[in-house]
Amino acid sequence: MGETMTKDQYILGIETSCDETAMSIVKNGVEIVANVVASQIESHKRFGGVVPEIASRHHVEQITVVLEETFSKAEMTMADIDAITVTEGPGLVGALLIGVNSAKALAFAKSKPLVGVHHIAGHIYANRLNKEFTFPLIALVVSGGHTELILMREHGSFEIIGETRDDAAGEAYDKVARTLQLPYPGGPHIDRLATEGQANINFPRAWLEEGSYDFSFSGLKSSVINTLHNAEQRDEVLKKEDVAASFQASVVEVLTTKTYKAAKEYGVKQVLVAGGVAANQGLRKELTSKFADTGIELEIPPLHLCTDNAAMIAAAGSIAYNQGHRAGWDLNANPSLDLEKYSLRGQQR
């Protein structure tokens, strides 16, 4: 990266890893010029979860529409773009492929540099569209597929210090929501019900071994399901609001406590929250109060940047591009792309 860089840099981001077809143009890695997201939630509702085949079909239908809308909103053309960045993984393979192949076609046709981006690196970098990073920092990534604590000592470097040993937090939310017969996606419904109920059922908190930053939500999920089942057998009716509040209290307490301990141990200056579950009001409230007056800055992105979008991919891709990452024409969708290995690419230059 040159200090003499004076020309503004425009990065195109493409994201199709799950059920949102998204493109965005980001200026200098921090400023959104255009951000378009075509959501498929409606199509997946009746299945109670994302159906891969349907997701891929939607991406194919949406991708050119989203591309045109992005450039028309930005009032720009491909000629203004410095690099094309795309989510290469992790995610659903068929869904990822649409984005990766579109990015490759655009880069090839317009002779633009191509950069692959890790989806979780993107979620973390959503925060940089809001606030500059201060290292070292810890990111709490919570979504349907992820629950991780990631330490960053500098741009583009990611160390996983804790992760779930079984289900992701968002997965637990979805399964509990299904048991409570709430519509998909379940997280926001539980979050809303929780504010109307009392956390009066004592669900377990999985702290694991002393000093571990790993998570486990599978026992909690089973406990909620068993509690509901047992109540039904005894003809008791548990208030859904109370179940939601008690379940959420357990998840939020574990996430907040572990994040706080890790932040103290690693002496970080900033704590970032990322991923779809970062939209959860209960989690936001608890984290805010835990980090108040600690001198550690807590950053939670605005709601529209918590869920999948392409601005975050362009933001993370901009760093990778400026660090010299380039993908070849053999760039492929990698449904289980490893964040730490992805992170090492930057250090192998």
Partner 1 sequence: MKTFEFTTYTSEETIRLAEKLALLLRPGDVITLSGGLGAGKTTFTKGIGSGLGVTRMINSPTFTIVKEYMGELPLYHMDVYRLENSDEDIGFDEYFNGNGISVVEWATFIKEFLPEERLDIDFQLKNEDERTITFYPKGDAFEKICEELER
Candidates 6-14, 188-196, 212-220, 260-268 — which segment interacts with partner 1 by CB under 8 A?
212-220
Choosing from 92, 245, 279, 312, the residue that interacts with partner 1 (CB under 8 A) is 92
The two beta strands, 10-15 and 83-89, are parallel
Query: Within 13 Å and on the Cβ side, how many CA atoms surround 28?
Result: 8
**Minimum distance from residue 140 beta carbon to partner 1 (Å):** 16
Q: Which of 136, 137, 161, 135 is nearest to 148 (CA)?
A: 161
Candidates 61-69, 91-99, 233-241, 256-264 — which segment interacts with partner 1 by CB under 8 A?
91-99
Choosing from 19, 88, 214, 308, the residue that interacts with partner 1 (CB under 8 A) is 214
Q: Which of 180, 169, 26, 14 is nearest to 106 (CA)?
A: 14
Candidates 99-107, 219-227, 312-320, 322-330 — which segment interacts with partner 1 by CB under 8 A?
219-227
- C-beta of residue 264 within 8 angstroms of C-beta of residue 254: no
The two beta strands, 270-274 and 297-299, are parallel
Cα–Cα distance for residue pair 313/322, rounded to 1 Å: 14
64 binds partner 1, rule: CB under 8 A: no
Candidates 28-36, 48-56, 100-108, 240-248 — which segment interacts with partner 1 by CB under 8 A?
48-56
338 binds partner 1, rule: CB under 8 A: yes
165 binds partner 1, rule: CB under 8 A: yes
335 binds partner 1, rule: CB under 8 A: yes
- CA triplet 209, 213, 217: central angle to 5 degrees? 80
Handedness of CA 320, 325, 331, 332 (dihedral sign): negative
User: Cβ closer to partner 1: 21 or 35?
Assistant: 21
Q: Counting Cβ atoms within 10 Å, is residue 175 exposed (0-12), middle (13-18) or buried (19+)?
A: buried
User: Cβ closer to partner 1: 47 or 135?
Assistant: 47
232 binds partner 1, rule: CB under 8 A: no
Cα–Cα distance for residue pair 304/35, rounded to 1 Å: 10
Cα–Cα distance for residue pair 337/9, rounded to 1 Å: 27
198 binds partner 1, rule: CB under 8 A: no
94 binds partner 1, rule: CB under 8 A: yes
Give the total of residues touching partner 1 (CB under 8 A): 32
Choosing from 77, 181, 336, 348, the residue that interacts with partner 1 (CB under 8 A) is 336
User: Cβ closer to partner 1: 252 or 339?
Assistant: 339
- The footprint of partner 1 (CB under 8 A) covers 47, 49-54, 90-94, 144-146, 163-168, 170-171, 214, 218-219, 221-222, 225, 335-336, 338
